[in-house]
Amino acid sequence: MVQKAESIWFDGKLVPWDQAQVHVLTHTLHYGCGVFEGIRAYRLTGGGSAVYRLKEHIHRHFNSAKIMEMKIPFTEAEICDAVIATLKANKLAEGYIRPLSFIGAGAMGVFPGDNPIQTIIATWPWGAYLGDEALEKGIRVKTSTFTRHHVNVMMTKAKTVGNYCNSILAKREALADGYHEALMLDTEGYVSEASGENIFIVRGGRIKTTPLTSILDGLTRNTLIALARDLGYEVIEERFTRDELYSADEAFFCGTAAEVTPIREVDRRTIGEGKAGAVAKHIQREYFKIVKGENPKYDAWLDKYDI
């Protein structure tokens, strides 16, 4: 359950949590044309807090809106400032941030006409997305019967509300079958991503990740590519198949919510030694140093604030 906070930023104003409401004829509620982001704030080891890659997340949010032909009536800088203001109003030193822009009520039908574009920012405490044990021991994954979107069916580079019906179906199926997460293939049968995470595999010390074809351009993915290369690993962006994943030495998911989550099993096949591998653990440790302000090389990615 989402833990209730004091306020939600709604179209330029902080309003009480229970008053952040919309009409039942809100266009996005019916037709799914809205865009959102998932962002995290962390307590810094040296004191204070920081939002991780705030500007990049908000820039992607505006790009998603542009792709979906939604004109957000605020600037990127104003939304960045609003994120910090919401965290401070809720006295949240660490947690999850959800900006959402949606088409409001007015015209009904597929064409939204001149309906207003509205934006909210909600924040709440949130720990490990797949559980603390998942970060340490790794998770079990099932290849979904549902295929990831084709690039000319849905706009895969937009973080669009309606795209996630595909993810919901895959996630429900995986959980019902006793797994932690779903792996999704693209329309040609290559590994795409999970229901809400990007994927990496490790073979012979070399790291491979799906290229930006059918997948969302994940900011955590972008971080890990840069980090792994800085750590001396060879990283390749190249399509790979399920059987290549099955025979990998290691595999792990990444995302703002999932952070760096090792994979110990896929479709009943043990991956590597059946636990978090050395490369995944190394990258995971270094990733948490970055977001907690312990590696000054990456301080430009931190928007710092105090409660």
Catalytic residues: 159
Give residue 163's Cα distance to chain centre. Answer: 13
| Secondary structure (DSSP) of 185-210 | E-TTSSEEEESS-EEEEEETTEEEE-
**Residue 82: closest CA among 97, 60, 69:** 97
How far apart are the C-alpha atoms of 71 and 220, rounded to whole Å? Answer: 26
Q: Indicate the SS3 state at residue 300.
A: helix
Both tokens assigned to 136: 């340490």
How far apart are the C-alpha atoms of 233 and 152, rounded to whole Å? Answer: 34
How far apart are the C-alpha atoms of 195 and 221, rounded to whole Å? Answer: 15
How far apart are the C-alpha atoms of 30 and 274, rounded to whole Å? Answer: 43
How far apart are the C-alpha atoms of 59 and 41, rounded to whole Å? Answer: 17
Q: Which residues contact 15 (CB under 8 A, 6 or more apart)?
A: 7, 8, 9
Both tokens assigned to 12: 């330029």
CB 85: neighbour CB atoms within 10 A? Answer: 15
Q: How far is CA 130 from CA 124, 134, 254, in A?
A: 17, 6, 11
